[in-house]
Amino acid sequence: MIWWFLVFLPPLAGALAYGRAPLFAWFGASGVWLAALASAEGWSIGTTLVALAGLAVAFGVFLIVPLRRALISAPIFTAFRRALPSMSQTERDALEAGTVWWEGELFAGRPDWTRLAAYPWPKLSAEEQAFLDNETSELCRLVKDWETTGLQDMPQSVWQFIKDKGFLGMIIPKEYGGKGYSAFAHSQVITKLSTRSSAPAVTVMVPNSLGPAELLLHYGTPEQKQHYLPRLAAGQEIPAFALTSPWAGSDAASIPDAGVVCKGQWQGEEVLGMRVSFDKRYITLAPVCTVFGLAFRLYDPDHLLGQEADLGITCALVPHDHPGVEIGRRHFPLNAVWMNGPIRGKDVFMPLDFIIGGPKMAGQGWRMLMECLAAGRSISLPGSNTGMQKLTARAVGAYARVRYQFKTAIGRFEGVEEALTRIGANTYLCDAARIMTAGAIDLGEKPSVVSAIVKYHVTERARQTVNDGMDVIGGKGICLGPQNFLGRAYQQIPVGITVEGANILTRSLILFGQGAIRCHPYVLDEMHAAQQGDLKAFDRAFWGHIGYSVSSGVRAMVMGLTGSHFVGVPSDVAPETRRYYQQLTRFSAAFAFISDISMGSMGGALKRKEKLSARLGDILSLMYLATATLKRYESEGRQQGDAPLMHWAIWDCMFRAQNAFEGVIANFPNRFFAMILRRLVVFPLGRPYVVPSDQLGHEVARALIEPSATRDRLTADVYLPTELDEPLGALEAALLATVEAEPIEAKVKKAQRDGRFKPGLLVGGGVDALWVRAREAGIITAEEFVVLQRRGELRDKVIRVDDFPFDFGLKSASSATTRLKAVA
């Protein structure tokens, strides 16, 4: 059986995939093999001739395409069409939206590493860098997170600064008065703001993401663009977009909000319009917006626009003060300060001109949303959640060096090192994925699958990073107040997990479910051929698919048996990363094969096997994250100080991918296929990866607690105030003071061990009494004592937590209630 698999199928795979020449080679090789088998088994001449004749018939069927199509492909085509579930236009729009980018290489099983190397690593223009360094830094300075918490809003001066400096129009072209910035610049701004406060970050993020400006740019009429885009760019309009309803959250396509085409009064005249009822919630910027995009299903029962009665999901642009609109109330998502609230309306009449793109775009809203979703989802949450991770890495790393317990910096305990290691490596990896994906948008891609990958994995790893940070800083993190630098991020982490596609749904249904159709080199072509009744196209795609599948399986098996040591990779990659490229190539081929076996053996039932689908999505995602990490390491000049971060991140990805493979195989419904997958294809020599080593983790953790170029690169663009009344400013000063003081402390402790210094009982002198005695005994100089004294003062400032008058909470609640009543 195995010899047949090795000798017979590989040539057949090449033949099916690459045409007639390999087919002839397959026929010749198979004939020689069959003759050899006949001789070895002692077959008679008659039996041998019959076997060769059968082989010739099979050859003829495959060689004569019309014959193959009629005898083999047609019955398969009929069965395939019968099994293929019907697909609505909404489902088709979602599946076919966007483009396939690097993830397609990973899915196909043959990643072209020269292509990855050729992608440009994003860089800011001089204008964009100046905006990041100046206006963005100034906006960070103007906002204090605790102050906004007390106000439950940003000060009006901050709102005005955001408007005046063009933050709301970063994606709007300069011809309309906007900044015309790149996706990478947009991502950098959001990342930096998120290291300071979620309020300005989300306020700036939403107008530049999926919303009125993006939709107008792609689909608006010239009149709509000329009216709205300059006003949005100048901050004269504050936009929101209303999609989610109480009955349609993750299943956004099922929104019950509806409109009916009819005639009505508008500006004193009877016009053709829509009467729309809607109930939306969780709409960011809704309480303060001046115009909002509205998604609803439009019906035309009287056929005033055409023959269709159900036109489909439609997007309109509605002024906040339009008659019948109910707006202004507010949600508090985990007590976040940024504005969010409901928008409602019943039987609100709107002219057809409100439809984005005009009446001709009625019913095209879902396609519009799906085509634009990839760009916004690639930038907003990856940027904001990477920003929180950078803040955590910078601040918690410093705190772990400054804070002592058991006479040792807590960052030197191995248990704390584990948390610091995850913080550092996850931050490095997520930043790599964020930057590479933003670069894809600037290349003109709309990578729908990749956008889901980075949204899910960056937000999940941010949750791990912030949780780890809270574990390290302990009581400092759980007492809210102006000195707490992480508590508010910890509170709001679940928001990123929930919005723009809940993470559970994204992992179990989208990553592989959409990826299998969009990224696979043949599946979408097969589906299109079946839907269109095109047997010729199906025949071509189907047999290409068979050859591709067998080829992937054989390649994965050979690479597994040889440990992938003979896999070719570009000669110019860093020597220390060469094995990663080889193993990723092997994993890619194994993933391609296991995906085809899963789809082929389970068919439509795979959609209901959400746990298996989620694990397959994990494999694809982790390969993408690992390649983004490799790309970053190469593009940033192979910084040796960053190598531990890179190695740990990739080992973690590969180990998790290996576990995901094991999870698929262990739970595969067909146990025969499971055995083939485990023993022949995926793990013929066992599992190659273990958890990253403790020594490697130690090197990562050390990079976080020591001032260095590595720490600065890892936390680039974190807003760093210099004032000591700012928690991060105090931490930075305390870290430097601690590093300066440690040799002096060691000097005193050595004198104690050597018997040269006996301080006696230190009663009532506080934690720094030892240094006073050491100075008095001449162990340290006056100058050294000043260093220790300053270190102690800054340490005390850093570890201090806030306290408030007994009735502070009652007063805050009362003032917040007063403000809410004023808003309502």
Active site residues: 500
Q: How far apart are CA 212 and CA 220, in angstroms?
A: 9
Closest CA to 415 of 730, 624, 74, 694: 694
Q: How far apart are CA 776 and CA 449, in angstroms?
A: 67
Report the largest interatomic distance among the alpha carbons of the chain, rounded to a whole angstrom. 110
Q: How far apart are CA 132 and CA 192, in angstroms?
A: 8
75-81 CB contacts, 8 Å cutoff, 24+ apart = 76/542, 77/529, 77/530, 77/535, 77/538, 77/539, 77/542, 80/526, 80/530, 80/538, 80/542, 81/530, 81/533
Strand partners, 263: 272
User: Could you tell me the CA-to-CA distances from 304 to 160, 347, 531 in Å, in that order?
Assistant: 45, 18, 31
Strand partners, 266: 269
User: Could you tell me the CA-to-CA distances from 130 to 124, 185, 259, 384, 818 in Å, in that order?
Assistant: 9, 11, 46, 20, 41
Is residue 343 within 8 Å of 403, Cβ to Cβ? no
Q: How far apart are CA 505 and CA 250, in angstroms?
A: 7
Is residue 626 within 8 Å of 462, Cβ to Cβ? no
Q: How far apart are CA 11 and CA 21, in angstroms?
A: 11
Q: How far apart are CA 542 and CA 521, in angstroms?
A: 11
**Residue 106 CB partners (closer than 8 Å, separation 6+):** 519, 584, 588, 591, 620, 623, 624, 627
Q: How far apart are CA 447 and CA 210, in angstroms?
A: 14
Q: How far apart are CA 558 and CA 682, in angstroms?
A: 10
**DSSP string of 194-256, one letter each residue:** HTT-HHHHHHHHGGGSTTHHHHHHHH--HHHHHHHHHHHHTTSS-EEEE--BTTBSS-GGG--
